[in-house]
């Protein structure tokens, strides 16, 4: 019982530090943020932060691992339950936008600061990103008629064009603005599956 309590406390504190750090990385940039800033933002002593993480790199790695695990978590199982391929694409887009808008600081940190990670940390994040790419590209390939009928370079390009629409929102989209995350998702999947519709 006590071990469980200590474990929960450790997870909670680590997540609290991670959340504060992600906000700072996003606002100031990773290179300009130091452990003093992170401790102040997490309302802890610097020694307290070092109790949970041995370095700033480790915090960035923790933040990005958690975000990528959210993105990958049960994605394939959920897709398996959906029958038709265009519904799978809609599901992927809605889920991507939903995770992004609910984890803004972490999502933006992934896009802007992942390259600051040293080799071994970077590789672990990068392999999770490749796994996400693989899952989405497979769905698209099936949608387009299966592996035998589709050109690999074309599927790669289309997958990244879709990621482009979904990820570029960091530069312009305000989840509290005129377009709700649900409407944005709908707009993206409509463009992707049918193109822009006149008079719609």
Residues within the interface to its own copies (CB under 8 A): 31, 140, 143-145, 149, 153-154, 156-158, 160-161, 163-169, 171-173, 177-179, 184, 187-188, 190-196, 198-199
The residue among 9, 180, 10 whose CA lies nearest residue 97 is 180
Handedness of CA 38, 40, 46, 52 (dihedral sign): negative
Residue (72 or 165) nearer to its own copies, CB: 165
**Least distance in angstroms from the C-beta of 113 to its own copies:** 11
CB of 172 to its own copies, least distance (A): 4
- Contacts from 27-31 at CB under 8 Å and sequence distance 24+? 29/112, 29/113, 30/56, 30/60, 30/109, 30/112, 30/113, 30/116, 31/116
Residue 185: both structure tokens together: 């998702």
Nearest residue (CB) to its own copies, 54 versus 180: 180
CB-wise, 35 or 179, nearer to its own copies? 179
Cβ-based nearer residue to its own copies, 47 or 195: 195
**Closest approach of Cβ 55 to its own copies, in Å?**
19
CB of 90 to its own copies, least distance (A): 12
What does the alpha-carbon distance between residue 184 and residue 192 come to, in Å, rounded to a whole number?
A: 12
Query: Tokens 């035998």 appear where?
Result: 148
Task: Note whether 167 and 76 are within 8 A (CB).
Answer: no
Closest separation in Å from C-beta 167 to its own copies? 6
Angstrom distance (rounded) from CA 11 to CA 115: 25
Closer of 77 and 83 to its own copies (Cβ): 83
Tokens of 77: 């199982």
């Amino acid at each position: 019982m006590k071990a469980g309590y200590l474990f929960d406390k450790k997870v909670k504190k680590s997540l609290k530090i991670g959340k504060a750090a992600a906000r700072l990385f996003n606002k100031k940039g990773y290179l300009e943020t130091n452990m003093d800033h992170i401790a102040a933002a997490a309302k802890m002593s610097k020694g307290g932060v070092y109790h949970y993480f041995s370095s700033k790199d480790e915090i960035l790695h923790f933040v990005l691992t958690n975000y990528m695990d959210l993105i990958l978590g049960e994605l394939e199982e959920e897709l398996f339950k959906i029958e038709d391929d265009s519904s799978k694409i809609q599901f992927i887009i809605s889920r991507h936008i939903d995770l992004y808008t609910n984890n803004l600081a972490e999502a933006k940190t992934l896009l802007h600061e992942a390259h600051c990670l040293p080799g071994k940390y970077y590789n672990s994040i990068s392999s999770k990103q490749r796994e996400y790419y693989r899952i989405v590209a497979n769905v698209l390939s099936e949608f387009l008629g299966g592996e035998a009928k589709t050109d690999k370079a074309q599927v790669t390009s289309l997958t990244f064009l879709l990621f482009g629409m979904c990820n570029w929102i960091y530069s312009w989209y305000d989840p509290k603005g005129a377009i709700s995350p649900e409407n944005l998702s709908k707009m993206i999947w409509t463009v992707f599956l049918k193109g822009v519709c006149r008079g719609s």
